[in-house]
Amino acid sequence: MAMLHILGALPIGLAIAAAYRQQRYYLFVFLGLAAYHVLGLLSLPSLTTEFDTQVLLRNEMITLSGAVLLFISVSAIERCFPKQQVASENPIRSAGDQWAVYAACVATCLALISVIIARRGASLFEGTWEEFRQESSRLDAVATLLQYLVIPSAWVAYRAGRRLSSGILLVFGLFIFGVLGSRAALLTLPAIIAIDVLRSATHRRINRFAVVTLIAAALLLHTGGRIVRGVGIGGVYRILSGASLTSSEIGDLFQGIDWTGGESEVIRYFSVVSRDSPVPEIPPLVSVTRWITIYLPRELSGGLKPEDSSYVLWRHSANVGVFEEYQSWPDMLTLLQAGETGSVHPTLWGEAWLNGGLPAMLVFCLLLGLILVGVDRVLALLPPVVAALAAPAVVSGYLMVARGNSVIGLGYVAYLIPVALALVLAVSRLHVIFASGVGRRL
């Protein structure tokens, strides 16, 4: 079993090496897959107590098949596209050089986010993230997306030598995270540092200590973000103001941080998929269909756009007893009985398998490879400031793709690249108008 698992690491390692050499953003998909592959090896002892050998062997074959298919897909598509050299300039450095345009875009996002969350008034400092999410609207979804463009700006300011601006932006970013609670948005901070390292002229000489430190920082933010999200901005405010959390609140915090479990549970959900697929409620090529219809609201699709498989898998898992050992199971049962739903993520390979077994994996990996290569080409063609704004969200989304939530992960790519481009074009146009003297006459 362990040897088969190690064999599955080979195509992932080859893909990482090729993507790193070519400085491709999809490197982070394969890094995420590598992290879950290591986690899968560490989880084997515990999995053997819950799943039989056939399920675990199927896990390894699914992983090996998916890794080979995606590696071949990306490699073949790279060859089919005209060869393109990566732009010599680092987009993070370019954004620092064009600080006025970049800062104006970030300030616009901050203003919009502030207006959206300020409408909640003093309740911001009273509720938790879970309570905030239950009352969230489409406006809150817009604010959540825009924070992906704001949080990484602290690093751009730092690289531009604007230390005060960097500190202010970091404080604003952390405050926004405390309200909106998106850990994927928080990960855009280590993501932009990683992009800076990757696209720097000296990135090949980065020592191992820097890489390990970056990974540790990402893990710390991921775990620490879960705790902050649990208490909400209200809990953080009470702590900073000198008040302390009650024992009941502390118990609720550590009991209800994450109803889908920690990252180690992702491998367990993969095993559930391997054991129980096909799930009747999940139609063939569900994720592929949702990628293609990503800009089409589901309620307006007339049934064309299926429900995300992660929600259906959550209900299936709840019904077959996957969550019964969780402390939060009574709350989850209440949700289930009320017709509400959560989501679980079974790694990219589990999601691909849910789409319809091995034949679906072939289509899944081929189209995903096309998307990954295409996004790199688009980011290379866009102005560097646009790339600096959008690329951290792309990287964060790619980590979610590796986790098995490709629809949401690619959604960050599909929505935030156009938003970043529109912001830069609008700000640049205003800059031209004022520079031409119209501003002085106004």
Q: What is the pLDDT along the chain (442 residues), one digit of tens a residue?
A: 778 888 899 999 999 999 998 889 999 999 999 999 999 988 988 899 999 999 999 999 999 999 999 999 999 999 988 765 544 578 998 898 899 999 999 999 999 999 998 887 766 666 565 666 666 678 888 998 999 999 999 999 998 999 999 999 988 988 888 778 777 888 898 899 889 888 875 545 544 455 555 555 555 555 555 555 555 555 555 545 555 555 555 555 444 444 334 677 899 999 999 999 999 899 999 999 999 999 998 888 888 899 999 999 999 999 998 998 887 788 888 888 888 888 899 999 999 999 999 999 999 999 999 999 999 999 999 999 999 999 999 999 999 999 999 999 999 999 999 999 999 999 988 766 655 554 344 3
Which amino acid, one-letter code, is at 276?
D
Backbone phi, psi, residue 174, to 5°: -70, -35
Q: Are residues 71 and 102 in the same domain?
A: no
Q: 271 near 56, Cβ under 8 Å?
A: yes
H helices of 48-162, in order, are 53-80, 91-97, 99-118, 129-134, 138-150, 153-159
Q: Are residues 183 and 206 in the same domain?
A: yes
Q: What does the pLDDT read at residue 416?
A: 95
Domain-located, residue 428: no
Q: What does the pLDDT read at residue 330?
A: 87
Structural tokens at position 124 = 């911001």
Domain end marker among 224, 255, 286: 255
Domain-located, residue 389: yes
Domain-located, residue 437: no
Q: What does the pLDDT read at residue 438?
A: 43
Q: Are residues 155 and 278 in the same domain?
A: no
Domain end marker among 214, 232, 255: 255
Number of domains in the chain: 2
Domain-located, residue 107: yes
Domain end marker among 255, 276, 299: 255
How many other β-carbons are positioned within 10 Å of the β-carbon of residue 106? 28
Domain-located, residue 429: no
Q: Are residues 245 and 304 in the same domain?
A: no
Q: Are residues 236 and 382 in the same domain?
A: no
Q: What does the pLDDT read at residue 332?
A: 85
Q: Are residues 96 and 185 in the same domain?
A: yes
Instruction: Specify the pTM.
Output: 0.87
Q: Are residues 55 and 190 in the same domain?
A: no
Q: Are residues 217 and 329 in the same domain?
A: no
Q: 86 near 19, Cβ under 8 Å?
A: no
Q: 71 near 34, Cβ under 8 Å?
A: no
Q: Are residues 251 and 278 in the same domain?
A: no
Q: What does the pLDDT read at residue 16?
A: 95
Range of the domain at 241: 91-255
CA distances from residue 252 to 176, 239, 244, 271 in whole angstroms, order as listed: 22, 16, 14, 29
Q: Are residues 54 and 97 in the same domain?
A: no
Distance CA 99, CA 141 (A): 27
Q: What does the pLDDT read at residue 223?
A: 53
Domain-located, residue 9: yes
Q: Are residues 51 and 164 in the same domain?
A: no
Domain-located, residue 236: yes
Distance CA 156, CA 388 (A): 8
Backbone phi, psi, residue 355, to 5°: -70, -10
Domain-located, residue 6: yes
Q: Are residues 266 and 386 in the same domain?
A: yes
